[in-house]
């Protein structure tokens, strides 16, 4: 698939994530933004939707994090760029991306009605099954993790955060199916799980939870690579985060179980190629 670059060299791209109270998440976002800027020649600025402004600037190299709405207002107040592309660092269409972001843009455009603000697509399109690049990154990280552990034909559990939005879980299931095909001859089995979920039967589509899967055949014993469908380290996907704690608790209860986690996907340089393509999908909100 050919990379599509922004339509104007004057374009500004705001690469946004959901935000985190952990400095390592913002630093990871900045690393991806810098790599994307180098790859495309576009002015790429990292911003978050929430939370990150609460991280002390001293933990971020002296440069405080910035939120999407305030970044838009600051740019438009000084010298409006000709073209502004909002690029989600999201796997699937969570409400934060599909509802919160358009509401923020509408609020900004009330004051700057001539602003040319467009929203690009996320990382995974379940309606484009031929695009397996995100699954290929996951597969490569599974192989690397298994190789480092000295494992042959481990079991694999792809785990995402869990979401109240069915379409987000559909992305997890889509990636799980692609991963199953890519690793068919190399692993014993590929399953999917969520880290957490809301209560209520209407959210059962998130099942199984990771904690349950690691106590249920076939994943309750042997060597299991936990493939992280997370983009950046932080409270959930960090070395001592929630997922690591879930894995350790399961290993304590199941002495025959051994787990290893893959790295978050933002650590993989191939992700930038996907983001570069997504710039060409930007549409007016």
Domains of the chain from N-terminus onward: 12-124+271-284 (3.40.50.1400), 133-267 (3.40.50.1400)
pLDDT, tens digit, 9 for 90 and up, residues 39-57: 999 999 999 999 899 999 9
pLDDT digits (tens, 9 = 90+) for 223-255: 999 999 999 887 888 788 899 999 999 999 999
pLDDT digits (tens, 9 = 90+) for 5-25: 444 444 799 999 999 989 999
Greatest pairwise CA separation for the chain in angstroms:
62
What does the pLDDT average to over 126-147? 96
Please list, in sequence order, all residues whose beta carbon lies within 8 angstroms of the beta carbon of residue 37, skipping any fewer than 6 positions away. 43, 44
Token couple for 9: 């060299």
Looking at residue 4, its pLDDT comes to 41
The mean pLDDT value for 65-94 works out to: 89
pLDDT at 194: 98
> What's the pLDDT score for residue 9?
40
In this prediction, residue 3 carries a pLDDT of 41
Backbone phi, then psi, for 268, in 5-degree steps?
-95, 120
143-157 average pLDDT score? 98
| Helix 271-278 with 133-149: angle, nearest 10 deg | 170
Give the sheet arrangement for strand 189-194, strand by strand.
189-194, 155-160, 222-228, 257-261
Q: Enter the pTM of the model.
A: 0.92
Angle between the 101-109 and 68-78 helix axes, to the nearest 10 degrees? 30
* pLDDT exceeds 70 at position 121: yes
pLDDT digits (tens, 9 = 90+) for 181-196: 999 999 999 999 999 9
- Helix or strand holding residue 242 (H, E): helix 242-253
pLDDT top residue among 182 and 77: 182
């Amino acid at each position: 698939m050919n990379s599509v670059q922004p339509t104007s060299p004057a374009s500004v791209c705001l690469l946004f994530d959901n935000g985190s109270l952990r400095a390592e998440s913002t630093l990871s976002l900045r690393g991806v933004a810098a790599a994307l800027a180098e790859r495309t020649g576009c002015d790429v600025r990292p911003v978050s939707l929430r939370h990150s402004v609460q991280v002390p600037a001293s933990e971020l190299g002296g440069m405080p994090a910035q939120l999407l709405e305030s970044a838009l207002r600051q740019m438009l107040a000084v010298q409006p760029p000709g073209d502004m592309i909002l690029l989600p660092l999201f796997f699937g269409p969570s409400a934060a991306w599909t509802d919160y972001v358009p509401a923020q843009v509408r609020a900004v455009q009330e004051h700057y009605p001539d602003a040319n603000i467009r929203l690009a697509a996320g990382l995974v399109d379940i309606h484009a099954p031929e695009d397996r690049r995100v699954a290929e990154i996951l597969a490569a990280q599974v192989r690397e993790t298994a190789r480092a552990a000295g494992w042959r034909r481990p079991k694999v559990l792809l785990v995402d955060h869990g979401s109240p939005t069915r379409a987000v879980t559909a992305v997890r299931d889509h990636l799980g199916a692609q991963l199953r095909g890519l690793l068919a001859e190399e692993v014993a089995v590929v399953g999917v799980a969520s880290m957490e979920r809301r209560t209520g039967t209407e959210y059962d589509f998130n099942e199984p939870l990771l904690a349950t899967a690691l106590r249920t055949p076939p994943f309750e014993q042997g060597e299991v690579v936990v493939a992280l469908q997370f983009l950046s380290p932080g409270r959930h996907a960090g070395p001592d985060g929630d997922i690591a704690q879930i894995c350790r608790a399961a290993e304590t209860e199941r002495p025959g179980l051994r787990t290893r986690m893959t790295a978050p996907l933002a650590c993989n340089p191939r992700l930038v190629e996907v983001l570069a393509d997504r710039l060409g999908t930007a549409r007016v909100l």
